[in-house]
A and B are shown apart, each in its own frame.
Chain A
Amino acid sequence: MTTGSQSKTGSDPLLAVAESFTPNPQQRALRLHKELTKVWTDAPGWRGTLTSVNHTTIGLRFMATAFVFFAIGGVLSMLIRAQLATPRGDFLDTALYNQIFTMHGSIMMFLFAIPMLEGLALWLLPKILGARDMAFPRLSALGYWCYLFGGLIIVLSLLGGVAPDGGWFMYTPLSDKTYTPGINADIWLIGVTFVEISAVAAAVEITVTILFCRAANMALTQMPLMGWYMLGTAAMMLVGFPPLILGSILLEVERAFDWPFFDVARGGDPLLWQHLFWLFGHPEVYIIFLPAAGALSTLIPVMCRTTILGYGAIVAAVMGLVFLSFGLWVHHMFAVGIPHMALAFFSAASALVAVPTAVQVFAWIGTIWKGRPQLHLPMLYALGFFLTFVMGGLTGVMLAIVPFNWQAHDTAFVTAHLHYVLIGGFVFPMMAAVTYWMPLISGRRRIKGLGEGAFWLVLIGFHGTFFIMHLTGLLGMPRRIDIYPDNPEWVLPNLISSIFSMVMATGFALFAFDIAMQFLFGRQSRRNPWQADTLDWAMVLPAPAYNFASLPMQGPKGPDLILPLARGEGLLPGAPRGWRELLVVDPGTGKPSHVAVLPGNTVLPLITAGAIGTLVGLLLAGLYWLVPLALGLIVLAVWRWGDIMGTTRDHAAVAVTPDLALPLHWHTRGSLAYRGAVATLVADGTLFASLLFGVAFLSVVAPGWPAPASDLPMLLAPLTASVIVLMLAFAALAARRAEDGRASPHGQLWALLGTAAGCVALLAIAGAALMLDDPRQHARDALRGILLAYAAVHAGIATLLGLRTWTDDRHGRVSLGRRGTAPVWRLWQDFAAVTAAISALVITLQEIA
């Protein structure tokens, strides 16, 4: 279906795919540009800052903010190196040193790496997949505000001298109330969880966007590799973050209310924290690596004027990494006393993960082999990646081998390894990506020389700092010490590391300077400067707010499409209805299915993040009696989000091409909102599964079991549990009836009945809470408290959705063709009923056993 690049004027590449789509009539590109800009652009001035939901704006904001946090984390690392440059450094006292290395790790992981890749995904995906925006623009903005506010809380704590100081993986009991009595650990647990809202939001959004918002007829198997990488990343985030969120909630509840999840004396176990943390923490490494590898797979073929070698093998490797990454978390715990044969299993799994990684590395080298490589700046960074990452990967394989791990674990060797992997596997590719896409961001060319200088400084500085650190570790220097007066053999290597770290810092500063200079003084770039053939370059520079004046389809190469798309010959040209419209496609084949109307500029995400921030502030201040107020604010804000799911009138189908008309999203059941709810429930279900893992782990492995006999009322407790489960199940039935009988009194009645049943279930949950044994007595009772709270939250959400369905129906916001909130209510109600039933079953089994 390719048309070649000779189609300058006469021959129209769209005619080549005319058998699938008739091109729309040509319009004046400038008129279309004005029409679309009016609809898609941010509001002017400070209002735009507060109300923007556009993926280009939000994505760039994520990346810029992440870079600021990278600089802060970098300054902290300079302080660490200054302290370690001499054996008796008295530059920092130990308490402050502990805060600084904890913050360095936490900032780089949670405030730089993750938000950076989210920003890249938000900014890039719609462009490279041929869409106008992400599936949930307001969610992008909400994620950004949560990230910014959470990040500010964490960073400001450093100024207040109360920053987290327990190491970035916050092992209990060191991080519990006895050994960290101050607010330091609370800031980490609550602040990081606040930031993680943006990670889960981004994961939901990326998943739905890749599956449903691609160019017309772009089958999943034809999408650019970046799509596959980001899909893998998002899937891992959906499943990887919930264990950490659960762990943080449990630890914070233990700190605040003395519920003993991790206290061995009362049936808890500090290893539960380690399992939950590393269940997140290891996939996290691949969450960070995959987008970076995606960038490499995108730009290496372009830099070598060829196509990628082994598309299918790379997709398989990505899927393999996603799967394997969840089987290796125990290699962070080889020294905690787990049976050796279990270690052997995890050791093999950890080594096995090198295979898909090696497949990719060799596919890239093979691509270079078959092409004509050109040493542009992005390629220079890619070569920096090869050198650094291969070494990091090999030390990783060494650490997967149990006896070696026992020796090197928690030493400077591991510090060296993880910096080789993270800087080699993430920072170098990200610098390649930024320099590669910079013309699309700024519309300008870079200033020659600066970028190359930055590259060499970073490369030399990096290897000078970290290569010798392998040796320091093998000489026995552990991590996280601030002085080493009795070890003269560590003095020289540490001094060398410290000196080169300053070189590296200079390199990063020069990189930032280069970017700033390019914005200020760069000359106008020509279109598609790298002559890439992906859709992200099929637009003018810098990228307009709406990306494509008319939407592309699978087949013609990106550069051939610039003119026809700008003239409105593609699908869904312009913004004739004054709406932000997005083409939604079938996930497998990419066949167009309907048109989604996206929300425009709104302050709602900021208000919602503010409401969540209020909750966070109250929790940090310990003002628990005010928490219901904050929850009320959040519910009010979120209630307004649902408006987009209903409309008071039927809409005609919209012409996408002259002979294809598609319904608007109100008229379909499988709307993006519904898909988003499914993705959210995948994460939510993982959270629940992690909770069940916690119950099983503690009852089987923790020393303080069996628990003392419980005082649950013999008759009343099972009765209440049955009421809860039956009411939730009845509400699930009512939700079905309400959807089927929508826009009739009959359906309205069912919606009301379902909502009422939900309220009864909530009352019964409150009753059950009064019957529970004191949760402070034993981990079993504390876990029951959490299971009950989980049921309460989900019954509450489902009931609110029922209420929403009822009000929508009353106000005529549904019709026979328009289903409104009902499908999403059904989904949540089913989920609430099933999880509550499982919880009841678990407690029953505990009582019988």
Chain B
Amino acid sequence: MLIGSAIITGLVLLLLTLAWRSGPNRTGNERLWIWGLGVGFTMSVLVVLVAYGVWVGERILARADGALRVAAHAQQWGWEFTQPGPDGTAIVTQGVLYVPAGRPFDIEITSSDVIHSFWVPRLGGKMDAVPGRVNLARLQADVPEVLEGLCAEFCGVGHSAMRFSVVVYPEGDFPDLQADVFGPEDSP
């Protein structure tokens, strides 16, 4: 998309330069400029782009296929995660989310006060935590590592510090909880 945009920007600027340098041309080809470039060119790019966007969007939707379920609950100003622990039973952690690598998971996002937004830039996707609602997002982390996550919707004084980590562990090899919990991060 970035390359496409660069090409289109270049094209428009090129046309502008050519237009500037061309001698006066009393008639002006309305058909070419309006229908050809304005409507035709723009529509063809957009149709392809939107169709592609819908296809990708559909693929990364949460759907009922028995994927792993985790939960993120936001409040001013920290995150509480519920996920399967070392022995498979659910555990609750503050500020750190544990997910296995290479497996899609659905995350239920909720809030108990104002609107927050769950975002791990490296995993893509972003979903708001809206009071009174449960929002679902499907994510997948490919390799074991520790990722940074943050609140992406402005939520008051503690917004900048409302960070969390995502510990991606190799399937079946749950890391040592103590070492990775950074301690409760529910106040700035």
Question: Which residues does A use to contact B, with CB under 8 Å?
Answer: 94-95, 98, 166-167, 171, 173-174, 178-179, 264-265, 269-271, 305-306, 309-310, 313, 317, 335-337, 340, 343-344, 347-348, 351-352, 354-355, 358-363, 365-373, 383, 386-387, 390-391, 394-395, 397-398, 400-404, 406-407, 409-411, 475-476, 478-484, 486-487, 702-704
CA distance A407 to B113 in the complex (A): 24
Known: A173-B113, A313-B38, A401-B49. A369 touches B157 (CB 8 A): no
Which among B80-88, B95-103, B128-136 touches the partner chain?
B128-136
Residue of B nearest to A475 (CB): B121
> How far apart are B124's CB and chain A's nearest CB, in angstroms?
5
For A373, the chain B residues whose CB sits under 8 A away are 19-20
Query: Per a CB cutoff under 8 Å, which of B25, B53, B156 touches A347?
Result: B53
Find out whether the CB atom of B33 lies under 8 angstroms from the CB atom of A309.
yes
> How far is B132's CA from A703's CA once the two chains are assembled, in angstroms?
7
Closest residue of chain A to B111 (Cβ to Cβ) is A173
Q: How far is the CA of A536 from the CA of B156 in the complex (A)?
A: 50
A94 to B154, CA, bound (A): 12
A269 pairs with B34, CB closer than 8 A = no
Please tell me if the beta carbons of B49 and A397 are within 8 angstroms of each other in the complex: yes
With both chains docked as a complex, state the minimum distance between the C-beta of A468 and any C-beta of chain B, in angstroms: 14
Q: Give the residue of A178, A309, A365, A483 whose beta carbon is less than 8 angstroms from that of B15.
A: A365
Given contacts A173-B114, A476-B122, 16 further A-B contacts (CB under 8 A): A166-B154, A317-B38, A335-B117, A337-B127, A344-B57, A355-B39, A365-B12, A367-B28, A370-B25, A373-B20, A394-B8, A395-B5, A403-B53, A403-B60, A410-B153, A476-B150
How big is chain B's contact interface, by range?
A: 35 or more
Name the distance in Å between A429's Cβ and chain B's nearest Cβ: 15
Chain B min CB distance to A151 (Å): 24
Report whether B1 and A335 are in contact in the complex, using a CB–CB cutoff of 8 Å.
no
Q: How far is the CB of B115 from chain A (nearest CB, A)?
A: 5
Bound complex: CA A360 to CA B39 (Å): 10
Interfacial chain B residues near A355, Cβ < 8 Å: 38-39, 42-43, 46
Q: Quick one: given A173-B114, A386-B12, A403-B57, are A358 and B42 in contact (CB under 8 Å)?
A: yes
Q: What residues on B are CB-neighbors of A401 within 8 Å?
A: 1, 49-50, 52-53
| In the complex, chain B residues whose CB is within 8 Å of the CB of A484 | 160
- The residue in chain B whose Cβ has the minimal distance to the Cβ of A339 is B61
Chain A residues in 8 Å Cβ range of B25: 369-370
Whether A336 lies near B130 (C-beta < 8 A) is yes
B114 cross-chain contacts in A, Cβ below 8 A: 171, 173-174, 179
Residues of A close to B22: CB separation below 8 A: 369
A469 to chain B, nearest CB (A): 14
**Closest 8 pairs (CB-CB, A-B):** A264-B132, A476-B121, A366-B33, A359-B38, A370-B28, A401-B53, A337-B135, A481-B160
A385 to chain B, nearest CB (A): 11
Is there contact, CB below 8 Å, between A369 and B28? yes
Q: Is the CB of A174 within 8 A of B33?
A: no
Contact sample, A vs B, 14 pairs, CB 8 Å cutoff: A167-B154, A171-B114, A174-B154, A306-B28, A361-B12, A362-B33, A366-B34, A369-B33, A397-B46, A401-B49, A409-B152, A410-B117, A410-B126, A484-B160
Pair A270/B38 contact, Cβ less than 8 Å? no
B window 7-34: CB within 8 A of A:
8-9, 12-13, 15-16, 18-20, 22-30, 32-34
Among B49, B76, B135, the residue within 8 A (CB) of A336 is: B135
Q: Which residue of chain B has its CB nearest to the CB of A352?
A: B46
Report the separation of the CA atoms of residues A167 and B156 in the bound assembly, to the nearest whole angstrom.
Answer: 9
User: Complex: how many Å from CA A88 to CA B57?
Assistant: 37
Given A358-B41, A479-B154, are A368 and B131 neighbors across the interface (CB < 8 Å)?
no
| Min C-beta distance of B23 to chain A, whole Å | 8
Question: How many Å lie between the Cα of A373 and that of B22 in the bound state?
Answer: 10
Chain B 67-105 per-residue mask, 1 if CB under 8 angstroms from chain A, else 0 = 000000000100000000000000000000000000000
For A358, the closest partner residue in chain B by CB is B42
Asked whether, in the complex, the Cβ of A406 is within 8 Å of the Cβ of B157, the reply is no
With contacts A347-B50, A370-B27 taken as known, whether A365 is within 8 angstroms of B16 at the C-beta atoms is: yes
**A101, closest chain B residue (CB):** B154
Verify A344–B132 contact, CB threshold 8 A.
no
* Interface pair B160/A94, CB less than 8 Å apart: yes
Q: A264-B131, A264-B132, A351-B50 are in contact. Are A366 and B30 (CB under 8 A)?
A: yes
| Contact of B181 with A by CB under 8 A | no
A363–B34 contact, CB under 8 A? yes
Q: Are B16 and A386 in contact (CB under 8 A)?
A: yes
Tell me if B8 and A354 are in contact (CB < 8 A): no
Whether B20 pairs with A174 at a CB distance below 8 angstroms is no
Residue B184 at the chain A interface, CB threshold 8 Å: no
User: Which residues of the other chain, A, contact B28 by a CB distance below 8 angstroms?
Assistant: 306, 309, 366-367, 369-370
